Each structure stands twice: as C-alpha cells, then as structure tokens.
C-alpha cells in the first residue's frame, strides 16, 4: 500500500488542501496517510481534518498520527515536508530585529536576513529527515514545500545527493493563471515555460495557440497607469521577462525598491506583510480546529490541484504530466551555479520526476538571479562548514540588506539574530564571528 508521510502536518490549512487533492484521485483513495508533527494539539487537529476530509470525499485511507518522525517515515513512498522551525515567534524575530536597523522586508522567508536565518533554523531538521529517510525509506520522494525553497534544495543536494528531492511551489502556475485572467485568455489554451530560481523564475515563453502573449500584456500596461504600479510589472517592463513571484515578495530580492520611500509609495509595497500573514495563519488554524472539533463540514473546494498530489498520482499510475519544480542544478541552467536549487520544467511519469534542460537564461535574468543565488550559496556553505563568518558574508551580499546597511550594521544585526534564535541554529554557528 502506498504510504504518504506528512511532516509538519500541523500546518493544518495547507494539510487540508493537500489531503483534499490527494483523496480526490480515485487511485489514491485507499493510501496510508502517516501524519507527523512535534506539537500534540496541532497533530490532533491534523488527524481530525484527515478523517473529516476522507469522510466527506467518501475515501477510505488508513490514517496514522505520531509525534515520532521515524514512525511516520517507516516504509513511506512519499514524504511531504511542510515544517516551519520556530513557528510564528521566529518569524516575528526575523522581522522586528532587522526593522530596528532600518531593513525593510515583506515576506522574509526566502532571501535577505530573514531567509538566511530561516534556512539556518531549518537545516538541522533537514539533517535529521535525510538521515531517517536513508534508513527507513531510501527510495521515497521527498516533496518539499518548506521555505527557503532554493536553499533547502541546495542543502539537501549537498548532504544527501542520493535522495529523491523535489521542491514544490505554486508561484509559476498562479503567475500564469493570473496573467491569463488579466488578459481574458483561457488558461487551458495557453502554453508556458519558466525557469530561474524559486520565487525568481522568469516566464520565458507564454503563448496562446502559438502566439506570444507578451505584446498583449504590453498593450494592457500601456493603457493602465495603476497596473504599472506593481513591482512585477516594473521589473517586467525593464527586464523583458515576467518574474514568477508576487510583487511584494519580488521587492525584497533586489536592491532597487525597499530602500526608497518613494518607490514603496509608487509601487504600493506592503512592508512587513508576512507578519500579518503569519498572524492570519494562526487565526485560520484556530478557526479550522474549532470547526472540525465541532463536527462542521470542511470547505474542500479547490480551484487547482497542488503539485505533490499530481506527482504522486503520476508515479503511481503512469499518468504523464508536466509541471515546474525545484531541483539541484545539474547542467539544467548553464549560466547559474552548478548544484544550487533551480526551478525548471519537469515531466513526471511512473519512473519519477525528470527535470528538463533549459540552457542559458537571458543574460539580464541570470544576472538578477545571481544576487539571489549568492546569498543562498553562502548560507548553505555556512551550515556545511560551521563558519559563522559566512552567515555575515551572506547578509553582506544580499541585495536588499546591502542597499540599506553598512557592513558594521550587517555584522551587528547578524549577531543579534544569532543570539535571538539561539539553539534553533546549528551549534557551530551560535558562536561569535570574529573580524
């Protein structure tokens, strides 16, 4: 029987959506769902949601729940990773401490000082997951949703190159979905291809019946000054290719916007947005828990199916699909560093997930990506070597941080974040970094 392990199952809203997608496939209605979380209450809630979802969909999976990760991983064919190390409290620290130094962030989970320290909190847990998988389910697919996606994929490629790893994010799909809606073009009639790094991939081709839709987008932008007041639209107009992450998130990957009050106003950038999202997630969790414990039906309506259920269904049934996923760069994008996590088109079939070689990105796109990648490479190397100076150096080359702070301020900020996160960080990186 197919066993699907959920790590971080207490991310209950996301777990509910994934379960609804999985159990909607006829061939997956009898799988084993092995739920794991380190929080007993959240695990209890996740199990209740799983049982309610199965009941509403008329499915009959075997459902287990355990605080022991190894119990969930034993014999798994698929491992869905959605952990958040440190939860809301760590997120708040990642925003409040940089803000005291004048660093503005919007989401802070992928790059920048927030992304660096989120990665460093996550890597020790990835060490444990990889070791357990090698022992208990070495052939399983690790389907990672945890951010910072590109850094996590690169770190796993370095410590566990033998594992099957794919990082999954819906930003490419929803970017195309929303652009098609903007132009009034049916999504199912559109072909597209994107590549780059997660949260900063580029829409290289976007065509309706063989005709590029970019000229139509240009025309739409030329007649709508308010539409031009978005970061992604501004980046597209200047770089020639549309970036595949939201405007607020895209703003913090480059040095051009957040350091300037006028740009924040012009492009309507919501500074500190992820703290508000995180607070809303806590409220959603409380509402969902109360509803499921009260016996109320869950809202299982889904506009689109997440990638993990599609991958599992394709491998189990041989159904051919094409998606975009994050994998280690092994000759896939020639003008980005080898080994780092890149987002590329992939096909999926009974034999697994197969990344497609893209070749060279447009040079301006690769140049912007390299600022992102340099931060990630140094962060991964900091964890692999235990060198705390590399943490500071990662922050020094981060585009947004470097545009805002002096090097002494960057060093001090990293010291403060290190002290604040304490034993969540790898032990060697808790030490001061000498100048």
Query: Active-site residues: which are they?
Result: 170
Length of the chain counted residue by residue = 435
Q: Which residues pair with 398 in a beta bridge?
A: none
Q: Are 183 and 242 in contact (CB under 8 A)?
A: no
Query: Judging by beta carbons within 10 Å of its beta carbon (0-12, 13-18, 19+), is residue 114 exposed, middle or buried?
Result: buried
The span from the CA of 114 to the CA of 382, in Å, is: 15
Q: Are 155 and 119 in contact (CB under 8 A)?
A: yes
The distance in angstroms from the start CA to the end CA of the chain is: 56
φ/ψ of residue 205, rounded to 5: -135, 140
Interstrand relation of 190-197 and 211-212 (parallel, antiparallel or unpaired): unpaired
Nearest CA-CA partner of 76 in 9, 124, 173, 6:
6
The span from the CA of 358 to the CA of 195, in Å, is: 7
The span from the CA of 246 to the CA of 231, in Å, is: 8
The span from the CA of 169 to the CA of 134, in Å, is: 24
The span from the CA of 17 to the CA of 175, in Å, is: 19
φ/ψ of residue 374, rounded to 5: -60, -40
Query: Judging by beta carbons within 10 Å of its beta carbon (0-12, 13-18, 19+), is residue 210 exposed, middle or buried?
Result: exposed
The span from the CA of 407 to the CA of 392, in Å, is: 9
Q: In Å, what is the CA distance from 220 to each residue of 190, 204, 233, 242, 361? A: 18, 19, 11, 14, 26
Per-residue tokens: 261: 């009050």
Residues 6+ apart with CB under 8 A from 407: 396
């Amino acid at each position: 029987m197919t066993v699907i392990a959920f790590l971080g199952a207490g991310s209950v809203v996301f777990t509910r959506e994934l379960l609804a997608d999985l159990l909607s496939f006829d061939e997956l209605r009898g799988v084993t769902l092995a739920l794991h979380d380190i929080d007993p209450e959240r695990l209890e809630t996740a199990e209740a949601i799983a049982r309610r979802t199965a009941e509403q969909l008329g499915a009959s999976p075997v459902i287990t729940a355990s605080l022991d990760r190894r119990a969930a991983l034993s014999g798994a064919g698929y491992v869905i990773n959605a952990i958040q190390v440190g939860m809301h409290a760590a997120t708040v620290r990642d925003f409040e401490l940089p803000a005291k130094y004048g660093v503005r962030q919007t989401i802070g989970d992928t790059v920048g000082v927030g992304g660096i320290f989120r990665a460093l909190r996550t890597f020790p847990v990835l060490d444990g997951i990889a070791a357990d998988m090698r022992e208990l389910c070495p052939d399983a697919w690790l389907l990672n949703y945890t951010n910072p996606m590109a850094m996590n994929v690169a770190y796993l490629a370095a410590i566990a190159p033998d594992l099957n790893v794919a990082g999954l994010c819906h930003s490419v799909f929803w970017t195309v979905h929303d652009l098609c809606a903007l132009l009034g073009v049916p999504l199912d009639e559109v072909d597209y291809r994107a590549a780059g790094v997660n949260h900063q991939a580029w829409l290289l081709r976007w065509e309706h019946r063989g005709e590029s839709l970019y000229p139509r987008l240009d025309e739409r932008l030329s007649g709508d000054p308010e539409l031009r007041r978005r970061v992604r639209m501004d980046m597209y107009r200047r770089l020639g290719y549309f970036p595949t992450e939201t405007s607020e998130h895209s703003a913090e990957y480059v040095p051009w916007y957040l350091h300037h009050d006028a740009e924040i106003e012009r492009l309507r950038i919501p500074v500190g947005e992820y703290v508000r999202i995180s607070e809303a997630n806590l409220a959603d969790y409380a509402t969902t828990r109360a509803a499921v414990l009260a016996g109320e039906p869950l809202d299982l309506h889904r506009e689109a199916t997440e990638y993990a259920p599609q991958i599992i269904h394709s491998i189990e049934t041989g159904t051919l699909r094409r998606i975009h996923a994050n994998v280690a760069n092994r000759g896939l994008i020639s003008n980005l560093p080898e080994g780092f996590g890149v987002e590329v088109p992939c096909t999926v079939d009974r034999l697994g997930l197969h990344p497609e070689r893209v070749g060279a990105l447009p040079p301006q796109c690769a140049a912007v990506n390299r600022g992102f990648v340099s931060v990630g490479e140094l962060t991964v190397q900091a964890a692999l070597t235990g060198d705390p100076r590399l943490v500071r150096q990662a922050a020094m080359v981060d585009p947004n941080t470097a545009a805002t702070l002096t090097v002494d301020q960057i060093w001090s900020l990293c010291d403060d974040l290190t002290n604040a996160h304490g034993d969540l960080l790898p032990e060697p990186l808790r030490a001061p970094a000498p100048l």
